[in-house]
Chain A
Amino acid sequence: MAEARALAEQLPQHSYVINLHADRYRYLRAFCAAVIAGQCTLMPPNRQAHTLTQLAETYPDSYVIGENGEEPAFSSTSNAEVPTVDSEQLCAIAFTSGSTGTPTPNNKYWYTLEEGAKGNARLLLGNNTGHLNMVATVPPQHMWGMETSIMLPLFAPVAISNKTPFFPQDIADAVNELPAPVALVSSPVHLETLLKSGVKLHGLKQILTATAPLSRELAISLESTFAARVQDVFGCSESGILATRNTSTEELWNYADFFDLYLSNDGIRIRADHLPEDVLMPDIIELVGDRQYRWLGRHADMLNIAGKRGSLADVNHRLREVNGVVDGIIFAREEQPDRLAALVVAPGMDVSDILSRLKDRVEPVFLPRPIYKVDMLPRQETGKIAVKAVQDMFNRIHASKAN
């Protein structure tokens, strides 16, 4: 806290800060310093040049800290007093990709973050009031990483590793260097490779996973291999962490006691005292029983690949913005819904041109592969494109390429 206070005095005088620190300790310190200095932390959905440029244009009074934007030097003072933060202070903005190419900002006031963190501590850590060491494989700039690895250490007896391990051996090293009990915050993609790699983890008590559905088989294998409880967590940037389930034994999701879910004209909405406004549930669910729901699927437009939520309409919008692309469609592959493919009408461009133009405007996991060039898309007279027609056309080209 003394370091955060000292750093706060040295921060450039701007309203917004883009905190790109990969080291979680530095991220946390700079986040606290920004709160003390009355600055709002912007949470870029990714580190791509295009995203950062767009963010800097939307928020001209912003600067970058961490990565290439070096932190100002400071000398720690002896003042480690925990500051009082105005509960109405805007402390962070998370972004969800809209369907038009412009990300929608979600304001996180101090009361939203503080009350959310206290509630999440009850929800995720239960009556466990003892000390817990935590390792997270998700970056602090991601809402799931922020709520667990940044906010829990501030409001619960949780200590966080400064690392963001990636490969299975990295995760094992980060977990094994900490005294038990350890909680691992991760995602199904990381957990699956962790399990298959055969690495050994010691002192693991709890695995918290979010960003994509965890299969029951994976949950059961993880619990038996690592002797840790696996908790699947559901949330979105707008509401934060909402519900959990023990996937190995439960089908229904239990939502936290500080949320209410209700049916509105346009779908199910999420209400909570700590949210500035009610939020539309991003996925399709069915309310059942007492504070429980069944997850049925995602809306057709919603993408969620490797923890990156995005909009299919947005990705398509970005494809059609590419100079030289006359028409085109990006869609989820039938037999591999976690991967996207594209049919593109672009005379005069080859596939590698199209791909390289897309690379700086689209998240890597949303890049279509393969991209097939076609003379025209199977549009109906109204201009609409049927999903079936696109899949058929793709499958035909795909089959002929395979031969």
Chain B
Amino acid sequence: MVAQTENEHALAALIIEALNLEDVTPEDIDPEEPLFGDGLGLDSIDALELALAITQKYAIQLKAEDANTHKAFGTLRTLNAYIEEHTG
């Protein structure tokens, strides 16, 4: 398991809170494991709920049309990097 940065840890906590994930602590989310499909097994409803939580906390709107967002939603690390880049 790769170590999380401070921001990644905060984002992991947000994911768990927004999606009511049980049996998962922020430390359990490997920053380089896929969030959707094989990793945490999140689905499209989760993606919408998570996007809304991110909008509310970080004041940025996610766009799937933007090819970067597809990559961003890959792992905790890429999602955090996307948020850091767009919040400046």
Contact = CB atoms under 8 A, between A and B. Distances in A.
A189 B45 contact: yes
Given A189-B48, A306-B44, A306-B45, A167 B22 contact: no
Contacts of B48: 166-167, 189-190, 193
Contacts of B22: 369-370, 398, 401-402
Given A166-B47, A167-B51, A189-B45, A359 B38 contact: yes
A332 to B, nearest CB: 15
Given A167-B64, A170-B63, A193-B51, A365 B44 contact: yes
A275 interface: no
B63 A167 contact: yes
Contacts of B52: 168, 193, 196-197
Contacts of B45: 189, 305-306, 365
B5 interface: no
A312 B16 CA distance: 27
A168 B69 CA distance: 13
Contact of A197 (B47, B61, B64): B61
Contacts of A168: 51-52, 55, 61
Interface residues of B, number: 21
Interface residues of A, number: 28
Nearest to A356: B38
Contacts of A390: none
A365 B42 CA distance: 9
B43 interface: yes
Q: Determine which residue in A169, A173, A199 has the highest number of CB atoms from chain B within 10 A of its CB, and name it.
A: A169
Interface in A333-369: 355-356, 359, 364-365, 367, 369
A29 to B, nearest CB: 21
A168 B47 CA distance: 11
15 contacts: A166-B44, A166-B48, A167-B64, A168-B52, A168-B61, A170-B64, A190-B48, A193-B48, A193-B49, A196-B56, A197-B52, A306-B44, A306-B45, A370-B23, A401-B23
Interface of A: 163, 165-170, 173, 189-190, 193, 196-199, 305-306, 355-356, 359, 364-365, 367, 369-370, 398, 401-402
Interface of B: 22-23, 37-38, 41, 43-45, 47-49, 51-52, 55-56, 61-65, 69
